[in-house]
Structure 1
Amino acid sequence: MDQGRSGRGALGVPVGGAADSSALGAANRLVGNDAAVAGLEITLKGPSLRFPRGGVVALAGARFAATRSSGTAVGWGETLVLAAGETLNLEQVETGCRCWLALRGGLAVPPVMGSRSTFLPAGFGGYRGRALRAGDVLASGAQVGAVRLLRARVPFIERDEPLRVVAGPQVGLFEDAGLLAFFTGNYRVAAASDRRGLRLDGPAVSYARAEVPSQGVLPGAVQVPPDGRPIVLGWDGPVTGGYPVIAGVIAADMAKLAQLRPGDAVRFATIELERARALATEQWEIEALT
């Protein structure tokens, strides 16, 4: 995964990319890469990775149980130098859902539409358009010069805090009872959730039935289908939708969204649009300086 492919919405292709670009950027900086270089996004359970020629790697995001060949535990947010033939073993996630592994030089997979990210629903990008399997071999990109260990801000995620949202374009369609259910209800991430969207189990959100024309939607948009169970659109979700959108998760909280897994509790809290914009600007400025 990298920062995704922008400007392809007219073709039905979402931006996609890393679910938490700041975590990928932090890992990349720790190995001396540009923040946008492609790395691995690892979800819930990690792989065992062998480095025939060695390598310089870093991990950021959710913490997984991880060891190197010697059995030594691997730190998070640290630069790790692996010798030729060493193996990096990642097991079950300890808290959260996803982490990102950066390799000095990046991953040398062919770009598709300007990105090396995998788009699983359509089967293109990344490594043959699919999730990695045992036996797959990935090449690293060119490594120029000596290793430079750079300072990086590894994001810290308050997972127990509510997701902050701004009002959606169809909020006026929702009845008082529906709004009360949505903003005071306790939800759980359903098992049928993935990068396309997080389906939520909990109080049904009622709204006035009305014809809603298809509209452009973005990751973080909270759609409510006829059964009243909200769906928070993810990074590989559709670029258009016909369900009413009650709210949108703010940009500064998309990293929280990336760490939710099936069974996790979800609550929502409103925030003013101007405050949401200010938080997004602050986040961008911090990332630009680190």
Structure 2
Amino acid sequence: MIEVLHAGPCDLVMDWGRPGRGALGVPAGGAADQQALAAANRLVGNDEGAAGLEIALSGPHLQFPRGGVVALTGACFAAHRSSGALVAWNETLVLAAGEILALGHPEAGCRCWLAVRGGVAVPRLMGSRSTFLPSGMGGHYGRALQTGDILHCGAATNEVRLLRAGPPATAGGGLRVVAGPQINRFDDRGLAAFFNGIYRVDLASDRRGLRLSGPPVSHHKVGLLSQGVLPGGIQIPPDGQPIILGWDGPVTGGYPVIAGVVTADMPRLAQLRPNDTIRFVTIEVEAARELAATSWEIEELA
């Protein structure tokens, strides 16, 4: 059991989401960094896709009346337990009955993931326990956690694994992208603005998409039929300010897609926060595939 003594601004129950339901208008959603959630789950003896908490910008204060086994991965937040002892990341943490885990602000980045042994036991909807805020469904009553909420945990199925995970994803450096399906709709001036410009993440950004402000990207404003889109796709609306589609973004869109963030850099996308600056670096599709196959590893200790 987990009691929320103080909720952060956006604490969401998340697992690996609802893939394969785009035809119903439902995005896959789920954890913004599935690999980070998987690492946390393995540290506490859960299946990799078990439901945990995705915590953004500032963390909650959580009490464990019966104790528990937890792990934190992703961006390192300031965190301590009831005794005042600091909490380590990418390690198994055993909490005594009644102990409090308090998370503050991240040292860098935006999101972390908390797994608890047994997983967060909220009802499944369309095969997933993930929260989908735009429709108010899934997770804990379809919303972010609030002060006073109580979460229940399931039964553990595996042994706790001793692991050494890689460093958390960082938002620094250029985001690597591949050419989008409508790149030919953009003239030289528009392409130069996009690939040479520095963009700032707008305050209006959320899990549906990251709105950017910077050099406007010009393109041929010819009618475009609605098309399927995916997280990481970069749309250019009429005002020329790019939108990077997020994990809860639409499954179809009518704006031209100039590029797509490569799979290997999606965890870095998850760590961008308002007012961060980014630039784009283009790579070939084959290079993106190779990066996806080797971008993240967990070493299991003897």
Q: TM-score, normalised by structure 1?
A: 0.96
1:233 to 211, 226, 245: 245
Are the counterparts in 1 of residues 122 and 152 from structure 2 also a CA contact under 8 Å? yes
Aligned to 1:12: 25
Q: CA RMSD in A?
A: 1.5
CA spacing shift, 1:16–1:144, aligned 2, 3 Å: closer
- Quote the Cα distance in structure 1 between the aligned partners of 2:283 and 2:23: 30
- Quote the Cα distance in structure 2 between the aligned partners of 1:239 and 1:76: 34
1:179 to 191, 197, 212: 191
> 1:29 deviation in Å?
1.1
Aligned to 1:263: 275
- Quote the Cα distance in structure 1 between the aligned partners of 2:23 and 2:148: 36
CA spacing shift, 1:96–1:151, aligned 2, 3 Å: same
Aligned to 1:88: 101
> 1:157 deviation in Å?
2.1
- Stretches of structure 2 lacking an aligned partner (at least 5 in a row): 1-13
> 1:92 deviation in Å?
1.4
Aligned to 2:11: none
SS in 2 for 1:121: helix
List aligned pairs for 1:33-72, cutoff 5 A.
33-72=46-85
> 1:93 deviation in Å?
1.7
- Stretches of structure 1 lacking an aligned partner (at least 5 in a row): none
Aligned to 2:289: 277
1:73 to 53, 70, 86: 86
- Quote the Cα distance in structure 2 between the aligned partners of 1:195 and 1:124: 15
Are the counterparts in 2 of residues 66 and 88 from structure 1 also a CA contact under 8 Å? yes
- Quote the Cα distance in structure 2 between the aligned partners of 1:288 and 1:251: 21
Aligned amino acid, residue 6 of structure 1: P
Aligned to 1:163: 175
List aligned pairs for 1:100-249, cutoff 5 A.
100-144=113-157, 148-249=160-261
- Quote the Cα distance in structure 2 between the aligned partners of 1:124 and 1:25: 23
Aligned to 1:250: 262
SS in 1 for 2:109: strand
> 1:2 deviation in Å?
0.7
Are the counterparts in 1 of residues 163 and 300 from structure 2 also a CA contact under 8 Å? no
SS in 2 for 1:177: helix
Deviations 1:186-209 (A, max 9, x none): 000000000000000100000011
> 1:287 deviation in Å?
5.6
- Quote the Cα distance in structure 2 between the aligned partners of 1:278 and 1:61: 23
- Quote the Cα distance in structure 2 between the aligned partners of 1:251 and 1:120: 23
Deviations 1:198-239 (A, max 9, x none): 000100000011111000000000000000000000000000
- Quote the Cα distance in structure 2 between the aligned partners of 1:24 and 1:94: 19
Are the counterparts in 1 of residues 176 and 282 from structure 2 also a CA contact under 8 Å? yes
Q: Which stretch shifts more, 219-228 or 157-166?
A: 157-166
CA spacing shift, 1:52–1:217, aligned 2, 3 Å: same
> 1:155 deviation in Å?
4.3
- Quote the Cα distance in structure 1 between the aligned partners of 2:46 and 2:243: 35
Q: Which stretch shifts more, 114-123 or 25-34?
A: 25-34
Aligned pairs, number: 288
CA spacing shift, 1:237–1:109, aligned 2, 3 Å: same
Q: Which stretch shifts more, 21-30 or 220-229?
A: 21-30
- Quote the Cα distance in structure 2 between the aligned partners of 1:247 and 1:221: 6
- Quote the Cα distance in structure 1 between the aligned partners of 2:148 and 2:139: 16
Identity of aligned residues (%): 66
> 1:183 deviation in Å?
0.1
Are the counterparts in 1 of residues 47 and 157 from structure 2 also a CA contact under 8 Å? no
Q: TM-score, normalised by structure 2?
A: 0.92
2:36 to 2, 9, 23: 23
Deviations 1:153-188 (A, max 9, x none): 244324221100000000000010000000000000
